[in-house]
Amino acid sequence: MKKIIKIIIITILFILIFVLLNKLLSPKYMDSLIEGSMIAEYYEEEKNHDVIFIGDCEVYANFSPMVMYEETGITSYVRGTPQQLVWQSYGILKETLKYEIPKVVVFNVNSLRYSEPVKEEYNRLTLDKMKWSKEKVETIKASMTEDETFISYVFPILRYHSRFSELSAEDFKYLFTDKKHTFNGFLINKIVKPAGSLPTKKVLPDYNFAKNCYEYLDKITELCKNNNIKLVLIKAPSLYPYWYEQYNDQMVEYAEKNNIDFYNLKEVAEKIGIDYSTDTYDAGLHLNLNGATKLSKYFSRLLKENYDLKDYRKDSKINAIYQEKLRQYNVAIKD
Amino acid sequence: MKKVILIILAIAVIVIGGIEIAITVQNSKKVSNADEKVSDVESSQNAEAYTFVDNGKEIALGQVFDKNALGIGDETSYSEVASCAFEGLDKTYTYENYEITTYPDGDKDKIYTIYFLNAEAKTQEGVAVSDSLQKMLEIYGENYEIQGNQYTYTKGKTQLQFIVENDVITSIQYSYITE
């Protein structure tokens, strides 16, 4: 009997050590590469959002739910991650719908230009911190590059074993705790780096979005229809990478065919008041706080006027939550 | 209890060591396979690479970009593009007839692509934008990969890509295979 208890204790302790090592060696995304932590922040949120954004860096850098709330009382959350590819957006949306059913889903179509993963590191930023679920499993399988293995997502030690010699204070400090970096998924960036000259607009061999991208866009469309959600396609304002006319034409056609609204916000950047000499943090790829504030005000009014969304500023319970968030937000943007 | 702790530590060391060894073996297999593949490609292509020559100055893909060492003078314009989340910049140096893009490799910038801006730039073998598909085929042959209307010739870790519309070359680019 004593022997059995000993074996059980050894097994439990072994599992604990193994779990601990996995946790210790996994990147924390807290002080560096913080974009990798954004996907998990959603789980701690009150799930009361009428609008959910999905997509790549062009959503988490450009749309501030705090500004949108202040402007029109719309509640929203940005589930964006760097280089979020369309199959990842689908998985993240599917996962989100397990927690809440928004009235509007906004998808930034920029990622449709990529028919395959750009690099493993981007997969990791989107997937490492996603909660385990059927959706995560499906998304990992859809995302893996040739050199990746599914098992390394289950046991990060298989991927990150070499970090043993690179462990830093961050790894120990955030072993059991996390810190928040975003406000409802919006990552504040106050740097001003004016747009200058850009690389030449190259001729492409094929401007058509790939078949697999359309398949996942169809899945997003279908998922929204089945849940009575209005899908809104957007192209966020940016100067680079180039959004070719041929790309835009395809989106206009897709939107018409599927009775979806598509807004190319790049075309109305001037009307919004975006000035690429002051409103971007990386010379025209993403908007900084100034630019995101202008865009968020404009887009929240557009949503309010066209999609019959509730003004939660009149709802005392929700308003109290958002007023506290706004207080913290205003401190953060002044820092 | 001391004995139990010792056993656990021993198991943990064995397991971690085992994982480390398994991964190292797997990686070394991958590396040796990749080396074999590369050496196959290289031997089949005489271990050569495509290079671009500007006024007698050879510009090799994958080499560190140093305009003074290359002797190509100052660019007419320069731009840099950051990547989302990660550090490092893709830098673009625009010259009169072509554009060089670099990629960060450690603290060095290496030549990634050379893109022709007009018909003045010619490949080392004498093909320019606005030449015919026929000319390209005569000079480079049929050993290409085609994607849409893009013809790609590969030599070692370098590629020469032509985009052809209505039998006329509309774009030429050299690129370096980084992985």
A201 pLDDT more than 60 = yes
Q: B171 has which bridge partners?
A: B163
pLDDT band at A22 (very low <50, low <70, confident <90, very high): very high
Q: B115 has which bridge partners?
A: B99, B173
Average pLDDT, chain A: 95
Interface of B with A in 16-75 (CB under 8 A): 16, 19-20, 23, 30
Residue B41: predicted pLDDT: 38
- Expressed in angstroms, the distance from the first to the final Cα of chain B is 51
A10 in contact with B, Cβ within 8 Å: yes
Pick the range with the lowest mean pLDDT from A90-104, A261-275, B75-89: B75-89
Please state, for a pLDDT cut of 70, what percent of chain A lies above it. Answer: 100
CA of B49 vs chain A CAs: smallest distance (Å)? 23
Domain limits of chain A?
A: 2-334
Q: Which fold has domain A2-334?
A: Rossmann fold (3.40.50)
B20 pLDDT more than 90 = no
Distance, CA of B117 to CA of B172 (rounded, Å): 9
Q: pLDDT tens digits for A210-243? A: 999 999 999 999 999 999 999 999 999 999 999 9
Return the residue in B6, B81, B84 with the most chain A beta carbons within 10 A, the one to mutate for interface testing.
Answer: B84
Residue B47: predicted pLDDT: 55
b/e string for A31-60 if b means 16 or more Cβ within 10 A?
eebbbbbbbebbeebeeebbbbbbbbbbbb
CB contact under 8 A, A9 and B4: yes
Distance, CA of B178 to CA of B172 (rounded, Å): 19
Which member of B79, B81, B84 has the closest CB to residue A57? B84
> Largest alpha-carbon pair distance within chain B?
82
B149 pLDDT more than 90 = yes
CA of A203 vs chain B CAs: smallest distance (Å)? 6
Interface of A with B in 254-293 (CB under 8 A): 282-283, 285-286
Please state, for a pLDDT cut of 90, what percent of chain A lies above it. Answer: 93
Residue A324: predicted pLDDT: 97
Residue B90: predicted pLDDT: 85
B74 pLDDT more than 80 = yes
Domain limits of chain B?
A: 1-44, 51-176
Pick the range with the lowest mean pLDDT from A40-44, B9-13, B118-122: B9-13
Q: Which fold has domain B51-176?
A: Pathogenesis-related Protein p14a (3.40.33)
**Nearest chain B residue (CA) to A12:** B8
Cα Rg, chain A, nearest whole Å: 21
Name the residue with tokens 């070394």. B28
B36 pLDDT more than 70 = no
Q: pLDDT tens digits for A44-97? A: 999 999 999 999 999 999 999 999 999 999 999 999 999 999 999 999 999 999
A21 pLDDT more than 70 = yes
Question: Mean pLDDT over residues A176-193, rounded?
Answer: 96
Which member of B4, B82, B115 has the closest CB to residue A202? B115
Residue B1: predicted pLDDT: 58
Pick the range with the lowest mean pLDDT from A212-216, B29-33, B62-66, B84-88: B29-33
Pairing of strands B150-155, B158-165: antiparallel
Q: For residue A99, what are its two tokens?
A: 């927690």
**Nearest chain B residue (CA) to A163:** B20
pLDDT band at B80 (very low <50, low <70, confident <90, very high): confident
